[in-house]
Amino acid sequence: MTPQDRQNRRKLSRRTAILGGAQLLFIGGLAARMRYLQVEEADQFRLLAEENRINIRLIPPARGEVFDRNGVRLAQNVPSYRIVIVSEDAGDTDLALQKLSQVVALDPESLERTRSELKRSARFLPVTIAEDVSWEDISRVSVNAPALAGITPEVGLSRVYPQGSDLAHVLGYVGPVSDYDLSRIEDPEPLLRIPRFQIGKVGVEAKREKDLRGKAGAKRVEVNATGRIMRELDRQEGEAGADIQLTIDAALQGYAQARLDGESASAVVIDCDSGDIVACASAPTYDPNLFVRGISQADYDLLTGDPYRPLASKTVQGLYPPGSTFKMMTAMAALEEGLIEPDDTAYCPGHLEVSGRKFHCWKRAGHGWVDLQNSLKQSCDVYYYDLALKVGIEKISQMAQLFGLGQRHDVPMSAVAQGLTPTKDWKAAAYGSDWVIGDTVNASIGQGFMLASPLQLAVMTARLATGRSVMPRLIKSTGGIEDPPGTGTPLPLDPENLRKMRRAMFAVVNDRRGTAYKSRIIQDNMRMAGKTGTSQVRNITAAERRSGVISNADLPWERRDHALFVDFAPHDAPKYAVAVVVEHGGGGSTAAAPIARDITLQALYQGEPPLDAYPPKDRPAIRAQQKRLREMRPQANTSGKDQA
């Protein structure tokens, strides 16, 4: 072998070694990668493989139920049976539906809707044929299952309101999630996209939706290549929503609704000790059960076309000039400023002239000389006109705010209104004009710009009765955890001034010359203190005053005055504060006070009060009224303590 051959061999060996080393390095790297993929990442790839044949499906949770303060069910879940069809399993769907029609009664509208949904749905997805069907129909479908290919019965939960229309404005109702609902939520959870899943639309159902909804469960199902479910592998149940207990007394609520029947009116009853709202009635009302599955257009048109506005929750949405029920605020402002003493008098000739304009008293001939108690007892307007000129609107509005007017109280109901306690700055911002002295005069008797809701008037009355900043509470507990009471702290006011107002309110009801004397309670330990109110909804011209003011009875309903009454009882140890507003009811003493008296007695006695609580001359009419209301509420017992 020549030197050249030896050199060539060495070069070849070196290249072979380099190439072999490179091959070994590549094979080693490949082996390491294969080990990593097959050993280290085995679980991940196994999961990816399973995801091609296993789907995760959400399970809707059971919605929390709602109870009254005594454990009476107000909103509950009941089994709801439905019949569904899967096109892929049924084959000829028209023939399947025809066979089903021979087993159970199906209306043509439901069949047409089912056919439309089958055309636009995937063949493996179930389509609902009928909802809320009877157990008998479900049994027939099950018995005939071999002949009804692709048709199966299912069971779920549906919302029911056992008290019907009594608590519609408080509870609200649930309904299927709409596109509008989803658009209002920034990041809707997947649960909300489940077909036919229901959420709260208004009222407590909507305001406490997150508590009531619960958390979804999940199930793993095996699907084939087309996505059809083959079998269920396992499931994890969700977390049911929290039960909620309201402060409402269902028996008292039902009575209040029945007592308001036939009126466009509202009533609020507050427990003075705790701030609990024990009744919150708005009339007319509606049946929330109609909305759960979707209300018909005919039923909805009846509700929206009613001039009494049954869909509105007047207790919190309705804003009214408080009328003479506001006079206590004007008087308290004057007392706290030290501008008057209870014995100070003012002369009422029937009007007060301010800046060349006459402001009239409701009594055309006037009340003569009146002091604080007599002015409230007889509801003299001129006395409060005079006070307003001394106090000014700023102090009056501050006092009203202190008593809960002009505030949006934190209760879980829909469209809670703030009301209005006007000031000079407010008018400048709202109207771009200066406050004038006539505005103050009007505000002093709860007219002009002053606006309040029945809830706010009830809070005002509870604070007058107790001297504390009572706060309204509608939720007693959530998931068994008690909400803090609304007892409140002492108001920064002279207790003696509050006692003067209570004595004057007592005279309104119990003195023979008081405007609410006819609606008094004669049981000594149940006597109430209160105040009537009548608020105008139209202007009375000078010409009409000269010829004689047209009576409410001669006016169209929508032009009549609103009737108001507030009270607390017993007067010497207040337990309940009540506010009643009757829209276009006329006079507070004739329309609102009798209703408030009856509701107050019902609350005090925790059921139907004895006839001897009423004045003797009223007892025959009350006896007939109690009988009528019992017939309207056959489910209620006289003790007022229904069983859950």
Residues classed as catalytic: 324
Alpha-carbon torsion (467, 245, 566, 203), positive or negative: positive
Alpha-carbon torsion (504, 510, 514, 519), positive or negative: positive
What end-to-end distance do the CA atoms of the chain give, in Å? 112
Angle of helix 619-632 relative to helix 250-259, nearest 10 degrees? 110
Q: Is 118 in contact with 95 (CB distance < 8 Å)? A: no
Q: What 3-state DSSP class applies to 161?
A: coil
> How far apart, in whole angstroms, are the C-alpha atoms of residue 27 and residue 41?
20
Identity of the amino acid at 603: A
> How far apart, in whole angstroms, are the C-alpha atoms of residue 171 and residue 254?
14
Query: Counting Cβ atoms within 10 Å, is residue 112 exposed (0-12), middle (13-18) or buried (19+)?
Result: exposed
Identity of the amino acid at 19: L
- Element at 67 (helix H, strand E): strand 66-67
Q: Which two tokens stand for residue 426?
A: 């407010």
Angle of helix 495-510 relative to helix 327-336, nearest 10 degrees? 150
Query: Counting Cβ atoms within 10 Å, is residue 479 exposed (0-12), middle (13-18) or buried (19+)?
Result: exposed
Q: Which two tokens stand for residue 173?
A: 């109702």
- Cα distances from 638 to residues 6, 268, 414, 607, in angstroms, run 123, 21, 32, 5
269 closest CA partner among 587, 626, 576: 576
